[in-house]
Amino acid sequence: MADSCAGRVALVTGGSRGIGAAIAVRLAAEGAAVAVTARTLDRHPRLPGSLAETVAAITAAGGTAIAIAADLSEPASRPAVVAEVERRLGPVDVLVNNAAAAYYMPVERVTEKRYRIAFELNVRAPFELMQLVLPGMRARRRGWIVNISSATAEPPQGPPFAAFHRHGGALLYGGTKAALDRMSAGVAAEVYDDGVAVNALAPVAAVRTPGVEALGMLPEDRPDLIEPMEVMVEAALALATGDPARLTGRIAYSRPLLAELGRVPRTLDGREVVEERR
């Protein structure tokens, strides 16, 4: 294990599988005590991975981790999660807002319930979690917040419009991520003088996760459009450990960020360089 996060407490939402679980494992490998939260502690009825498995992977490697089951689309759960982390591990130094509801459907099919859940989980929950951890970060004059975004936050270019935007149904998910991007940059400006970094991070291509595979959105015939998990995780780690005086207020994309910083992706235990296939 390396030690870029030694002595720090990290909270990762959506930590039962996919990008959230991978970021949690890497932060722990770098020495952080990690709290992961998602709706259920044990196995999902349809998707692989669970909070219990994430914690087991971290502890088996010698790290420290706890699991907190919570539905972050419910407002009452957010202060309860932060209070539990502080009680069991200490004040939060690194917050990774990864949990999201990824609804892909045309505008006519967006129900009131789906609209509400998308904005509660993708926008309001990250906003409130930032509100809850920022007073302590500002008082300690250190902190890192990484909000996981998406390329769908970029508005469609046209006319004519690409087929994905005509038929992909990403408007609700992309709209929430656009709000998250703007919110991240705004908070970064407000807390800059207090030594706290706030950034948004998106992959440049589809990341192979259980959720993306379940949606059938991986372009298996175009491996160049699939991003290795380690690329996204390395970029998240860079934003979670960078100098807040310099690396903040970014709406960043994974691969370009690593190129700018001169970093290469490493395995989730941080021990080996990952060779990407082009």
Set 177, 184, 253, 254: catalytic member: 177
**Is 93 part of any domain?**
yes
Residue with tokens 């009131």: 112
**Is 252 part of any domain?**
yes
**Is 276 part of any domain?**
no
Annotated active-site residue 149? The verdict is yes
Alpha-carbon distances of 107 from 86, 242, 276, rounded to whole Å: 41, 39, 37
Domain, as residue range, for 209:
9-261
What CATH code is carried by the domain that includes residue 81?
A: 3.40.50.720
Question: Using one digit for the tens of pLDDT, what is the confidence trace for 106-151?
Answer: 999 999 999 999 999 999 999 999 999 999 999 999 999 999 999 9
If one counts the domains in the chain, the total is: 1
Annotated active-site residue 173? The verdict is yes
Paired residues of 197 in beta bridges? 144
C-alpha angle 70-74-76 in degrees, rounded to nearest 5: 85
**Is 68 part of any domain?**
yes
Percent of the chain with pLDDT over 90: 86
From 119, 102, 130, select the one nearest 200 (Cα to Cα): 130
Q: Give the Cα separation of 52 and 69 in Å (integer).
A: 10
Residue 173, pLDDT above cutoff 60 = yes
**pTM over cut 0.75:** yes
Angle between helices 51-60 and 18-29 (to 10 degrees): 20
pLDDT averaged over every residue in the chain: 93
Set 173, 184, 253, 254: catalytic member: 173
Query: Hey, CA dihedral for 140, 241, 87, 12, is it positive or negative?
Result: positive
pLDDT band at 89 (very low <50, low <70, confident <90, very high): very high
SS3 143: strand
Set 73, 149, 150, 254: catalytic member: 149
**Is 86 part of any domain?**
yes
Paired residues of 35 in beta bridges? 11, 66
**Is 266 part of any domain?**
no
Question: Using one digit for the tens of pLDDT, what is the confidence trace for 182-202?
Answer: 999 999 999 999 999 999 999
